């Protein structure tokens, strides 16, 4: 019984440690006027939506039988959010990118995260 309890506590500690690795982006602070402008500018991009709250959402799915290359999507997600969309992040938007399906992940980027990762 004691061994089982130790194993359970070890597993819970491992899960808690994994959870602390996920970045928690701040809530968007973009002005409503800027949200409306960006919604209009990006409305033609497939799988991309700018919410009224100031999130820039991009979600794509991998076809069945395929798997995401996790290194490539992490690198590509960072480059798009922290390089291509950096001006929007400076204005208070938050990028939420989701690569759905096998091997996928979801990442959230705000200006603070991009600054932090640029110094690492």
Distance CA 14, CA 20 (A): 10
- Provide the pLDDT confidence category of residue 21 given band limits of 50, 70 and 90: low
Nearest to 99 by CA among 85, 82, 81: 81
Nearest to 108 by CA among 92, 90, 96: 96
How confident is the model over 20-46, as a mean pLDDT?
Answer: 91
What pLDDT, on the 0 to 100 scale, is given for residue 14? Answer: 39
Return the domain boundaries, the chain. 25-118
What pLDDT, on the 0 to 100 scale, is given for residue 82? Answer: 97
The enclosing H or E element of 28 equals none
- The number of beta carbons lying within 10 Å of the beta carbon of residue 115 is 13
How confident is the model over 33-37, as a mean pLDDT?
Answer: 98
Beta strand 105-109 pairing with 94-100: antiparallel
CATH says 25-118 is which class?
alpha beta
Tell me the whole-structure pTM to 2 decimals.
0.78
Distance CA 8, CA 83 (A): 42
- Provide the pLDDT confidence category of residue 5 given band limits of 50, 70 and 90: very low
């Amino acid at each position: 019984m004691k061994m089982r309890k130790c194993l359970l506590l070890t597993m819970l500690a491992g899960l808690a440690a994994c959870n602390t690795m996920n970045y928690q982006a701040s809530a968007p602070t973009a002005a409503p006027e800027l949200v409306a402008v960006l919604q209009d500018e990006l409305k033609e991009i497939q799988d991309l939506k700018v919410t009224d709250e100031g999130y820039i959402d991009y979600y794509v799915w991998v076809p069945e039988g395929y798997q995401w290359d996790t290194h490539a999507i992490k690198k590509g997600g960072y480059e798009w959010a922290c390089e291509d969309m950096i001006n929007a992040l400076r204005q208070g938007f938050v990028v939420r990118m989701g690569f759905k399906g096998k091997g996928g992940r979801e990442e959230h980027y705000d200006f603070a995260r991009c600054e932090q990762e640029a110094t690492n």
